[in-house]
Structure 1
Amino acid sequence: MELLQAYSDEQRMSSSPESSPPRVSIIPKSSAPMLSLDNKTLTLTKPLDPTQHVVEFNPTYDQLWAPIQGPAHPYAKDGLAQGMRNHKLGFVENAAIEPFVFDEQYNTFHKYGYAADPSASAGFNYVGDFDALNRNDAESVYNIPQHEQKKRRLQKKNKEPDAGELDPDEVDNPATDAWLVKNRKSPWAGKKQGLQDELTEEQKKYAEEYAKKKGEADGNKEKGEVVTDKSTFHGKEEKDYQGRSWIAPPKDAKANNDHCYIPKRLVHTWSGHTKGVSAIRFFPKHGHLLLSAGMDNKVKIWDVYNSGKCMRTYMGHSKAVRDISFCNDGSKFLTAGYDKNIKYWDTETGQVISTFSTGKVPYVVKLNPDNDKQNILLAGMSDKKIVQWDINTGQITQEYDQHLGAVNTITFVDNNRRFVTSSDDKSLRVWEFGIPVVIKYISEPHMHSMPAISLHPNGNWLAAQSLDNQILIYSTRERFQLNKKKRFAGHIVAGYACQVNFSPDGRFVMSGDGEGRCWFWDWKSCKVFRTLKCHNGVCIGAEWHPLEQSKVATCGWDGLIKYW
């Protein structure tokens, strides 16, 4: 009540005419607001620069999503300028053109000098020679009317250029040889011009030497490497007092080997090879000599019966010798080397009778076992072929070409009418001799490569050294089936072509292994009979003596040949 009273008194006083007018104090106003803002507040109000990568404060939602101010870049993408170029020649826009349309305009341009631009939106969209465009009514090479085409063909025929003259249409078309002749400066225009015609004496000499070297290299590529053949006799005399040759078998050799026994102890060691020995072969039927193939490029023959010394060394290969094979009477033998040569030697004199090569590495060599076909040589090559030569003429008479990998073995079966080959392609193939058609193909998913195969003395079974550390037995009858009941295992041969062999009476199977041991299994029970520690490293070869009941020779990559 008191406040209302005071207010009404004041109002009354101000409304009375006698009272003096109230004093009003006017404060002058400025056009700019008087604000005291710190830097942080100023920054928060400023718009963000879209090009900067780092923001040193926390912008507000409105700042982040504010539209970018100012004019848009003509070639901008997603609001951010990419620059004027996306190609070294400027800015290229993507255009979807059908292949046929492109080919049509490309060929039209090279034929007439003008083309439609299929990517242009509308209006006059031609480029090139406009005179030609008007002359041809803007037609492309693909839609010229038939009568016009016929007319042009006649005109072209009437205007055929002379022998030395170039066709003007061809000169204009870069896809022709005439265009290349005219435009020699093109980077794909054949040989460059401007080379000096005359060579100096020094350059001529160098060119001749280079050509000679290249010719030699090409020749070696095509055929095996050429090495001078040498042979050294190490025995006392080549003929004895009766005039018999040193390779003649001893008179008191018994006829056959009836009952075999497992060897127990080392009898003799032959050491003459400076590197590993890759294969050994006893002299056929008698076994009084032993032939060995070395990785030191040499082949040696050793006396088994008497002195136990090296009788002769045969040097004719420039690289390691891989395989050796006697002929039936032992008077000659074959060698296969990594120098791509197959050589046919005279055992007694050490002369090379003939050399064969296809330019590929031979992995296995064999003569046909028939006495009337001792002139026929078969070789399994690294290029998947089995090549057959006639030794007398030196000609290739047959090629068996079905394998998909290098050929490792050749084994004659069925009275030598057929032969079985194994290969790196993990298959066995059976061939009719002389006919290059596979009559049986054995390949199963579980099979491994079989780098060594041997025939049982009775001729009914093949023993194949499989690289999954087992020896598999296949029948040599019509069906060539796997004998699932016979399987010899226990040895480790994975990765090595260890030879598998039989005793002459067929009672025992033997094989070397990758750890230097020689294993003996019983043929009937398939049980391990005995193992001998033979070599340091791989025991690659094992051969049973053809006449001695319990004598076995082994060879290894330690360079030794041992007689047990």
Structure 2
Amino acid sequence: MDLLQSYSPTSNSDSDSDSETQIIKLPTKSAAPKVDDTALSLISSDPTSSSGSLTKPLDPTQHVVTYNPTYDQLWAPIYGPAHPFAKDGLAQGLRNHKLGSVEDASIASFHFDEQYNTFQSLGYAADPSATHFVGDLNSLETNRGVTVFNIPQSEHKRRRVLNKREIDEDDAIENDDDKDNPATDTWLSRNRKSPWAGKKGNVGQEELTEEQKKYAEEHAKKKAEERGEKVEKGEIFEEKSMFHGKEERDYQGRSWITPPKDKKADVEHCYIPKRLEHTWSGHTKGVSAIRFFPKFGHLILSAGMDTKVKIWDVYNSRKCMRTYMGHSKAVRDICFTNDGSKFLSAGYDKNIKYWDTETGKVISSFSTGKIPYVVKLNPDDDKQNVLLAGMSDKKIVQWDMNSGEITQEYDQHLGAVNTITFVDDNRRFVTSSDDKSLRVWEFGIPVVIKYISEPHMHSMPSIAVHPNSNWLAAQSLDNQILIYSTRERFQLNKKKRFAGHIAAGYACQVNFSPDGRFVMSGDGEGKMWYWNWKTCKVFRSMKCHEGVCIGCEWHPLETSKVATCGWDGLIKFWD
């Protein structure tokens, strides 16, 4: 519309009193951008908006705005998940799921249980990311959208009658033994209390009750006694194994663990790996230790915090070949025999299990009622039946695995034992402990022949032997790797000290390259560190894992290949 403005010039004292008022017509201008009907409707429909400001957020894909948005609207966060491959420098296009990139989301446990049980019972549920329902829409209309937590009282009574009829029918066809078995579905359905539970009840979705745990332990104990195994003080858990490969034997009758014949060792000169070659993901929790198959490295064994031990193919299919399930808690340490046909596993369930690598059967179990932190076999070929275990009660226990009897106890440490390392042609072994000391033992004699403890020393949760057998590398928790000689005096080599990584608080494993030129270790930030043995300088550090990089192993035959494991549940193979 046209704007009219009245203009009166300033009158002087000499001017006439009857001067005329001048009317000036200004050019036409638009008072504000045109507002579309949607914006007007939003303004008028918002009863709380006294000033007429819009509360609707801006559409990020909109190129032209037809109204004047407020500051809050312009800078409101974009709704919805972030694009995983956006080029804004914030989102990293990394796949964290087999179908792409998945963001973390949270929902209150009460609302999740409400919608989950509603879907299980009534067939529909509210979509938390939208305002609509999913599932059986006919049932939604019939029940008028109610959830299981607000079902009318009359509906509760009707459901109780139906459930009672189902229970009576189940009891009529089930055996009497199943009625008294708290681990069966019949027992669960008979004893459920939730009105929205299905035929098998909702109790099975939760942890086992004390009565069910007791029954399961008794059942596993009975099975172990039937197999002729000696049941010790550790927690009872039924052992089983699952083979994942195509066939356990090939057309020539060779086992799947048979090493390839065309691989030969070449340790003249090792190189630092530069790129990621393969990633194994199968553990649902962190991986605590990895071990290559002795001498050949065509298989790699991993101990998981998900209670499982897995073995993976390195050269061919690169898939999980077998899963060993026998522990009820996280697995702490693993150890192969010299020929790789068997291995030991130590778990936080206080059990040590001796497995057959090929068949997955448990040959024997050992326990003292304490947690084993480290297990080690005597490296001599004629003493492969001798097991040493460092326990949480400060002892190193020695078993004869043929008889199952404890033949020796080494009890001098003042804290939990972390490592056992054989030196001096396997006649002696060195142990480290939480008491911040090193002790040297004569094998078979429970007397300390060398005790190393200094005020500056920290706990050493990992020790490795140099390939020339003259030195020990100890991961110290003050963020450095210390070197001790393995000769008579076991002295600290003050000239060799490897630092730069951050390992305080973590039992990151230390290791050597097969030619002895490099020292390597993971750290608490997921990095892998390589040092030159002669100069003690950092040769290379690279990001390997999200979280702690806890374990590292150099391939026994390939001169430039390294495997690492971390608390992100991944095992990575570097070349």
* TM-score class, shorter: 0.5 to 0.7
Aligned partner of 1:272 among 247, 270, 282: 282
Whether contact under 8 Å (2:526, 2:547) holds in the other structure is: yes
Aligned partner of 1:434 among 429, 441, 444: 444
Corresponding residue for residue 249 of structure 2: 239
Aligned partner of 1:412 among 414, 422, 430: 422
Aligned partner of 1:526 among 536, 544, 548: 536
Aligned partner of 2:306 among 296, 301, 306: 296
Corresponding residue for residue 461 of structure 2: 451
- Per the alignment, in what secondary structure is the counterpart of residue 447 of structure 2? strand
Letter in 2 for 1:232: M
Q: Check if 1:316 corresponds to 2:343.
A: no
Cα offset, 1:242, TM superposition: 1.1
Corresponding residue for residue 235 of structure 2: 225
Corresponding residue for residue 355 of structure 1: 365
Corresponding residue for residue 338 of structure 1: 348
Corresponding residue for residue 117 of structure 1: none
- Per the alignment, in what secondary structure is the counterpart of residue 409 of structure 1? strand
- Per the alignment, in what secondary structure is the counterpart of residue 365 of structure 2? strand
- Per the alignment, in what secondary structure is the counterpart of residue 242 of structure 1? coil
Whole-Å Cα distance in 1 between the matches of residues 290 and 239 of structure 2? 21
Q: Check if 1:327 corresponds to 2:351.
A: no
Cα offset, 1:256, TM superposition: 3.7
Whole-Å Cα distance in 2 between the matches of residues 282 and 563 of structure 1? 12
- Per the alignment, in what secondary structure is the counterpart of residue 267 of structure 1? strand
Aligned partner of 1:542 among 542, 545, 552: 552
Letter in 1 for 2:479: N
Corresponding residue for residue 317 of structure 2: 307
Aligned residue runs from structure 1 range 282-293, under 5 A: 282-293=292-303
Corresponding residue for residue 519 of structure 2: 509
Corresponding residue for residue 468 of structure 1: 478
Letter in 1 for 2:279: T
Whether contact under 8 Å (2:462, 2:507) holds in the other structure is: yes
Identical amino acids, percent of aligned pairs: 86
Aligned residue runs from structure 1 range 41-190, under 5 A: none
Corresponding residue for residue 67 of structure 1: none
Cα offset, 1:241, TM superposition: 1.1
- Per the alignment, in what secondary structure is the counterpart of residue 317 of structure 1? coil
Whole-Å Cα distance in 1 between the matches of residues 282 and 397 of structure 2? 33
Cα offset, 1:500, TM superposition: 0.1
Corresponding residue for residue 393 of structure 2: 383
Query: What per-residue deviation string (whole Å, max 9, x for no partner) do you get for residues 371-415 of structure 1?
Result: 000000000000000000000000000000000000000000000
Q: Check if 1:374 corresponds to 2:384.
A: yes
Cα offset, 1:257, TM superposition: 2.1
Letter in 1 for 2:241: S
Whole-Å Cα distance in 1 between the matches of residues 284 and 346 of structure 2? 19
Q: Check if 1:258 corresponds to 2:268.
A: yes
- Per the alignment, in what secondary structure is the counterpart of residue 514 of structure 1? coil
Query: What per-residue deviation string (whole Å, max 9, x for no partner) do you get for residues 439-488 of structure 1?
Result: 00000000000000000000000000000000000000000000000000
Whole-Å Cα distance in 1 between the matches of residues 555 and 268 of structure 2? 12
- Per the alignment, in what secondary structure is the counterpart of residue 276 of structure 2? coil
Higher Rg: 1
- Per the alignment, in what secondary structure is the counterpart of residue 521 of structure 1? strand
Whether contact under 8 Å (2:303, 2:331) holds in the other structure is: yes
Whole-Å Cα distance in 1 between the matches of residues 255 and 232 of structure 2? 39
Whole-Å Cα distance in 2 between the matches of residues 442 and 482 of structure 1? 9
Whole-Å Cα distance in 1 between the matches of residues 413 and 562 of structure 2? 34
Whole-Å Cα distance in 1 between the matches of residues 373 and 453 of structure 2? 21
Whole-Å Cα distance in 1 between the matches of residues 554 and 502 of structure 2? 21
Query: What per-residue deviation string (whole Å, max 9, x for no partner) do you get for residues 70-104 of structure 1?
Result: xxxxxxxxxxxxxxxxxxxxxxxxxxxxxxxxxxx
Letter in 2 for 1:552: V
Whole-Å Cα distance in 1 between the matches of residues 460 and 573 of structure 2? 26
Cα offset, 1:213, TM superposition: 6.5
Whole-Å Cα distance in 2 between the matches of residues 491 and 379 of structure 1? 29
Whole-Å Cα distance in 2 between the matches of residues 508 and 307 of structure 1? 30
Whether contact under 8 Å (2:266, 2:559) holds in the other structure is: no
Whole-Å Cα distance in 2 between the matches of residues 287 and 483 of structure 1? 32
Q: Check if 1:478 corresponds to 2:488.
A: yes
Letter in 1 for 2:285: K
Whether contact under 8 Å (2:281, 2:569) holds in the other structure is: yes
**Using a 3 Å threshold, how does the CA distance of structure 1 residues 447 and 391 change in structure 2: closer, same or farther?**
same
Whole-Å Cα distance in 2 between the matches of residues 306 and 415 of structure 1? 36
Question: Normalising by structure 1, what TM-score?
Answer: 0.61
Whole-Å Cα distance in 1 between the matches of residues 462 and 378 of structure 2? 18
- Per the alignment, in what secondary structure is the counterpart of residue 397 of structure 1? strand
Matched length:
354
Letter in 1 for 2:542: L
- Per the alignment, in what secondary structure is the counterpart of residue 273 of structure 1? coil
Whole-Å Cα distance in 2 between the matches of residues 213 and 345 of structure 1? 26
Whole-Å Cα distance in 2 between the matches of residues 507 and 294 of structure 1? 30
Aligned partner of 2:561 among 551, 559, 564: 551
- Per the alignment, in what secondary structure is the counterpart of residue 541 of structure 2? strand
Whole-Å Cα distance in 2 between the matches of residues 257 and 461 of structure 1? 19
Letter in 1 for 2:364: S
- Per the alignment, in what secondary structure is the counterpart of residue 250 of structure 2? coil
Whether contact under 8 Å (2:265, 2:556) holds in the other structure is: no
Letter in 1 for 2:465: L
Cα offset, 1:255, TM superposition: 3.2
- Per the alignment, in what secondary structure is the counterpart of residue 493 of structure 1? coil
Whole-Å Cα distance in 2 between the matches of residues 255 and 507 of structure 1? 16
Whole-Å Cα distance in 2 between the matches of residues 377 and 248 of structure 1? 25
- Per the alignment, in what secondary structure is the counterpart of residue 490 of structure 2? coil
- Per the alignment, in what secondary structure is the counterpart of residue 253 of structure 2? coil
Whole-Å Cα distance in 1 between the matches of residues 402 and 418 of structure 2? 25
Whole-Å Cα distance in 1 between the matches of residues 354 and 553 of structure 2? 22
Corresponding residue for residue 178 of structure 2: none
- Per the alignment, in what secondary structure is the counterpart of residue 248 of structure 1? coil
Query: What per-residue deviation string (whole Å, max 9, x for no partner) do you get for residues 175-208 of structure 1?
Result: xxxxxxxxxxxxxxxxxxxxxxxxxxxxxxxxxx
